Amino acid sequence: MENENRNINYDDLPLRRLGRYFWLAWFTASMGQFVDAYDTLIIGAALLYLIPLWNLTAAETGLLAASAFIGVALGAVIFGPIADRMGRRLLYIYDLIFFVVFGALSAFVTNFWQLFIVRFLLGLGIGGDYSLSPTMVAEYAPARRRGFALASMNSFWGIGSVVGFLSAYGMAVAWGNTNPDFTWRFMLGSEAIWGLVIILLRMGILESPRWAALQQQLGRRIKENASEVVRKMTGGKEASFDPGLAKKPSIKDLFTGKMWITTIFLWVWWPVADIAFYGSNMYTPYITKGLGLTTPQLAFLASALYWTIALFGYYTTAATYDIFGRRFVTILGSTLMGIDMFIGLALYKLGLFSTSLAFPLVMTLFTIYYYFMNFGPGPWTVAMAEIWPTRVRATGQGLAAMFSRFGAAFAAFYMPILIKQIGFDGAFILLGGAILFVALWSYLFMPETKGLTPSQIEQMVTEGRVGIFARSAKSAT
């Protein structure tokens, strides 16, 4: 780092100083969020047709909804460690081949078990992307504005939701009444198109500069030099940056010192949060229809409308993440989501969803819920990638994603059974209770990472300066 241009500290740069290549890399990673959302919402829409056509039981409906999540859990834990040892780039490009192949095949299945298996295999690729896309953005972005980069990346989950609902609405209007079998097949098969587009876009993405720098420090020969990647992001300028501690990757690094507190915190936080996220996201049309919007078309359109409004929650987070911090935003949003669901429970008990007020009440409740999901705990599901040391970042993110799928699969499987057994008041209680637990858990143990470099974050979590313990550690010093 003898070049005089290296007086530039990459981690202090504002995003406006970065070139087009950074934004291309950010966009291709963000599209991983898009396809995850599109898949989640499109299977929820397809189930409205599959349930009567295949006479699915509540248990079978839940298994189909959960099948991809099981694949995600396995894919995340397989792809992550490989990416830490062999590099991010190739896996990042080709993990979505699973999405293309098995998305296309899902349009041609003929029975329950075929669709279950195909969606499980599709989930493997999505799981790989859970490990890799947030890792790439966390390692590409400067520490100063990493919060903006990660939160705005997560906004593509909302965009994928809106596109998914609007696509479902268009297909339902075109063929839903005349050819429902073709409708659900076209819904699921359309996923392959998105996967193929993203693979083509990712072909031009280089290796993570922080991972590449670690390998160079360890004496490994790699194809792409870290400095070359940084120059491409800065428009040809050299810059120094913090790649993290240079060591060989080991899963033990997730438990070094007091790092185990943060690791266990995340392994509990994400699955419980996903009960609240996917219990609502996947069954939005189902719940909306059950609360008084009588046709699939109306349920899809209403869902798209309140997700469109709720998109602004992501952008509020992006604007404030590097100011208020991750912890404050997460606690605030989780608390207000929980309050919103228990207000919904009270309105349901009063019978107001069976009156002419059903549409405005549903719209208001779920718009508020999704807005504060997005200006709240939602973006942390990708921003948590900044927590892990660079050498085990994909492994840490993959393992956390694996645990998260337990919550998502539970919500996907159990929600229709819960609603059938005790009604929609059970859905309000489950969603509200889960997200209020997330608020409390975040208050107790969530680390604050705004503006910190990888080495600073590793030191903080290794010393246990997280959540309420961060205050006591400051007092002790």
**Res 462: pLDDT:** 96
**Res 1: pLDDT:** 40
* pLDDT value at 320 more than 90: yes
* pLDDT value at 360 more than 90: no
Select the highest-mean-pLDDT range: 68-72, 144-148, 287-291. 144-148
**Res 286: pLDDT:** 55
240 pairs with which residues across the strands?
A: 9
For 375, phi and psi rounded to 5 degrees?
A: -100, 65
Tracing tokens 């359309």 back to the chain, one arrives at: 190
What band does 3 get if pLDDT is binned at 50, 70 and 90? very low
What mean pLDDT do residues 116-139 have?
A: 95
Could you tell me the two tokens for 140?
């590409």
What band does 477 get if pLDDT is binned at 50, 70 and 90? very low
Q: What is the pTM of this model?
A: 0.88
Tracing tokens 């990757």 back to the chain, one arrives at: 249
Q: How far is CA 169 from CA 56, 93, 462, in A?
A: 22, 31, 49
What band does 289 get if pLDDT is binned at 50, 70 and 90? low
DSSP conformational letter for 9: B
What band does 414 get if pLDDT is binned at 50, 70 and 90? confident
Q: Which residues contact 388 (CB under 8 A, 6 or more apart)?
A: 254, 395, 396, 397
Q: How far apart are CA 147 and CA 450, in angstroms?
A: 7
Q: Which residues contact 476 (CB under 8 A, 6 or more apart)?
A: none
Name the domain count of the chain. 1
CATH number of the CATH domain containing 38: 1.20.1250.20
Q: Is 218 exposed, middle or buried (0-12, 13-18, 19+ CB in 10 A)?
A: exposed
**Res 350: pLDDT:** 87
Tracing tokens 């996220």 back to the chain, one arrives at: 277
- Lowest-confidence segment of 139-148, 168-177, 207-216 by average pLDDT: 168-177
Rounded to 10 degrees, what is the CA torsion of 8, 10, 14, 17? 70
Could you tell me the two tokens for 327?
């912890």
**Res 281: pLDDT:** 65
Phi-psi region of 77 (alpha: psi -120 to 50; beta: other; left: phi over 0): alpha
* pLDDT value at 209 more than 50: yes
Domain that holds residue 398: 4-476
Alpha-carbon Rg for the chain in angstroms = 22
**Res 475: pLDDT:** 46
Say if residues 353 and 361 touch (Cβ distance below 8 Å): yes
Handedness of CA 339, 343, 348, 353 (dihedral sign): negative
Say if residues 284 and 44 touch (Cβ distance below 8 Å): yes
Q: How far is CA 165 from CA 30, 285, 297, 396, 424, in A?
A: 19, 9, 10, 32, 22
Q: Which of 266, 311, 13, 276 is nearest to 152 (CA)?
A: 311
DSSP conformational letter for 240: B
- Lowest-confidence segment of 97-111, 330-344, 396-410, 421-435 by average pLDDT: 421-435
Q: What is the mean pLDDT of the chain?
A: 88
9 pairs with which residues across the strands?
A: 240
**Res 4: pLDDT:** 46
**Res 463: pLDDT:** 96
- Lowest-confidence segment of 147-161, 162-176, 202-216, 380-394 by average pLDDT: 162-176
